[in-house]
């Protein structure tokens, strides 16, 4: 049996049991799970190996979190909106004039946060290594023709969402999105999450296990389909995450590095109305913007119907992670997941290094989230 490390309040023992069961079933290498309730940590567990050499996953082990990073970048944008520096419903071209080209003059940040903007992919397509060049990515998106009329269609902005956000943040603040996140959010909260990992933190990084034959999913696909166009516009193999170049770059939709504790801590801010441990970063009204529905329907490249709020997914029949209306979530490629239940004032996060196939993750984290919400509701 795998030894489970960390702390867990007795009323959340079911989370520990579910976490241990994943290891007993042989579906984990190393992982962490964290739960906060009313801002207090009630579950903080880790177990397994950080790499293939058997190095133990430690309390401070961090790994690439893929699209869980989107929630951190979204919070940066929400903070700027809350401070009156950005209007989510105004054209992005008002801040970034070049972005208005190609029929994109009416695209708003709300469209981008809700995956209904007409730039779900890069056009022309770019290589994974091009993602390390922010200026190249921003110029590509600015020059792109609109893929559809704004707000009329949803396509998963797997990579592009973060580059639109980061260019707007840079033009508004003079800081990169990683710098702004560190200065205004992670730093004040003491959260160990990084958009652009300092080299000094490299010794703590665990090795990710990518799913097999990732690019094979595109073989034989209809190259004219929206799904193909989106996913092939910046194809990644899953190997990039194990390089210093990937972690060092600010890839605001997919390249963040952290663990369950750091994700749950940042999200505890949302669960508790914008304030955590006496530090106010968002107003209650700023938090509520998350629950403004931007889309409810099929989402290209995800292959499922979703309710999308402002920067987060909302509860629906396809993602019934909480029974409470003021709940939101997101997941990362391979299985990482985060759920925030503002009605319960609960934040749940699960981060691992053994990736499952598929963009929408698997049941390992979902079961942990449902178990935590059930325990908090009891």
Give the phi and the psi of residue 352 in degrees, each rounded to 5.
-140, 175
> How high is the pLDDT of residue 82?
98
The total number of structural domains in the chain stands at 1
Q: What is the CATH number of the domain that holds 111?
A: 3.40.710.10
Mean pLDDT in residue range 322-331: 97
**pLDDT tens across 194-214, in order?**
999 999 999 999 999 998 766
Q: Is the pLDDT of residue 215 over 80?
A: no
Q: Report how far residue 286's alpha carbon sits from residue 356's, in angstroms, rounded to the nearest whole number.
A: 34
Q: Contact 355/208 with Cβ under 8 angstroms? A: yes
HEC per residue, the chain: CCCEEEEECHHHHHHHHHHHHHHHCCCCCEEEEEEEECCEEEEEEEEEECCCCCCECCCCCEEECECCHHHHHHHHHHHHHHCCCCCCCCEHHHCCHHHHCCCCCCCEHHHHHCCCCCCCCCCCCCCHHHHHCHHHHHHHHHHCCCCCCCCCCCECCCCHHHHHHHHHHHHHHCCCHHHHHHHHHHHHHCCCCECCCCHHHHHHECCCECCCCCHHHHCCCCCCCHHHHHHCCCCCCCCHHHCHHHHHCCCCCCECEECHHHHHHHHHHHHCCCEECCEECCCHHHHHHHHCCCEEEEEECCCEEEEECCCCEECCCCCCCCCCCCEEEEECCCCCEEEEECCCCEEEEEEECECCCCCCCCHHHHHHHHHHHHHHHC
- Is residue 274 a contact partner of residue 280, using CB atoms and an 8 Å limit? yes
Task: Tell the residue number behind the tokens 């042989």, with chain if given.
Answer: 26
Quote the tokens at residue 117: 């903007």
Band (138; pLDDT cuts 50, 70, 90): very high
pLDDT range class, residue 256, cuts 50, 70, 90:
very high
Number of C-beta neighbours around residue 373 at 10 A: 21
Say whether pLDDT at 233 is over 70. Answer: yes
Q: Each residue of 60-94: pLDDT tens digit?
A: 999 999 999 999 999 999 999 999 999 999 999 99
The fraction of the chain above a pLDDT of 90, given in percent, is 93
Q: Residue 25 phi/psi, 5° resolution?
A: -85, -5
Number of other residues whose CB lies within 10 A of the CB of residue 34: 29
Q: Residue 8's domain spans which residues?
A: 4-377
Percent of the chain past pLDDT 70, that is, above it, reads 97
**Calpha distance 196→179 (Å, rounded):** 9
What contacts 24+ positions apart, CB below 8 Å, involve 312-315?
312/71, 312/74, 312/340
pLDDT at 317: 94
Q: Report the C-alpha gap between 223 and 221 in whole angstroms.
A: 6
Residue 213 has a pLDDT of: 67
Residue, of 299 and 214, whose pLDDT is higher: 299
Residue 340 CA, chain-centre distance (Å), reads 13
pLDDT value at 358 more than 90: no
Whether residue 223 has pLDDT greater than 70: yes
Instruction: Please report the pLDDT score of residue 216 as a whole number.
Output: 54
Higher pLDDT, 346 or 223: 346
pLDDT of 254 > 90? The answer is: yes
What's the average model confidence in pLDDT over 146-172? 98
- Do 253 and 73 contact (CB within 8 A), yes or no? yes
Q: Could you tell me the pTM of the whole model?
A: 0.97
The pLDDT of 157-186, averaged and rounded, is 98
Predicted pLDDT at 101: 98
Rg (Cα) of the chain, in Å, rounded?
19
Whole-number pLDDT of residue 357: 80
Asked if 299 contacts 155 with a C-beta cutoff of 8 angstroms, the reply is yes
Instruction: Look over the chain and give the mean of its residue pLDDT values, rounded to a whole number.
Output: 96
CA 91, 96, 99, 105 dihedral sign is positive
Q: Taking 70 as the threshold, does the pLDDT of residue 219 lie above it?
A: no
């Amino acid at each position: 049996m795998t030894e489970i490390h960390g702390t867990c309040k007795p009323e959340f023992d079911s989370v520990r049991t579910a976490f241990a069961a994943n290891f007993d079933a042989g579906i984990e290498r190393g992982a962490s799970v964290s739960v906060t309730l009313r801002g207090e940590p009630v579950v903080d567990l880790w177990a397994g190996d950080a790499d293939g050499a058997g190095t133990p996953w430690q309390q401070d082990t961090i790994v690439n979190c893929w699209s869980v990073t989107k929630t951190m970048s979204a919070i940066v944008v929400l903070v700027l909106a809350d401070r009156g520096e950005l209007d989510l419903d105004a054209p992005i071209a008002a801040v970034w004039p070049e972005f208005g080209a190609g029929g994109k003059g009416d695209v708003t940040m709300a469209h981008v946060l809700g995956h209904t903007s007409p730039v779900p992919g890069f056009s022309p397509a770019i290589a994974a290594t091009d993602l390390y060049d922010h200026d190249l990515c921003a110029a590509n998106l600015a020059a792109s023709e609109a893929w559809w009329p704004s707000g009329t269609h949803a396509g998963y902005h797997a990579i592009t969402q973060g580059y639109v956000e980061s260019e707007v943040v840079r033009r508004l603040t003079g800081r990169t999105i990683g710098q702004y996140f560190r200065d205004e959010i992670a730093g004040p909260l003491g959260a160990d999450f990084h958009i652009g990992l300092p080299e000094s933190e490299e010794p703590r990084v665990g090795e990710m296990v990518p799913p097999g034959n990732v690019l094979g999913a595109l073989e034989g696909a209809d190259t004219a389909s929206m799904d193909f166009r989106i996913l092939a516009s910046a194809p990644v193999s899953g190997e990039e995450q194990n390089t210093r170049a990937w972690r060092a770059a600010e890839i605001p939709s997919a390249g963040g590095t952290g663990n369950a504790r750091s994700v749950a801590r940042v999200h505890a801010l949302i669960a508790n109305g914008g304030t955590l441990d006496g530090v106010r970063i968002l107003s209650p009204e700023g938090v509520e913007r998350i629950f403004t529905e931007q889309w409810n329907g099929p989402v290209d490249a995800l292959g499922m119907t979703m309710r999308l709020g402002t920067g987060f997914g909302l509860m629906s029949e396809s993602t019934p992670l909480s029974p409470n209306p003021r709940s939101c979530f997101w997941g990362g490629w391979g299985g990482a997941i985060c759920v925030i239940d503002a009605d319960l004032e609960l934040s749940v996060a699960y981060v691992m290094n053994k990736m499952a196939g598929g963009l929408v993750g698997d049941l390992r984290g979902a079961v942990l989230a449902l178990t935590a919400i059930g325990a908090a509701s009891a």
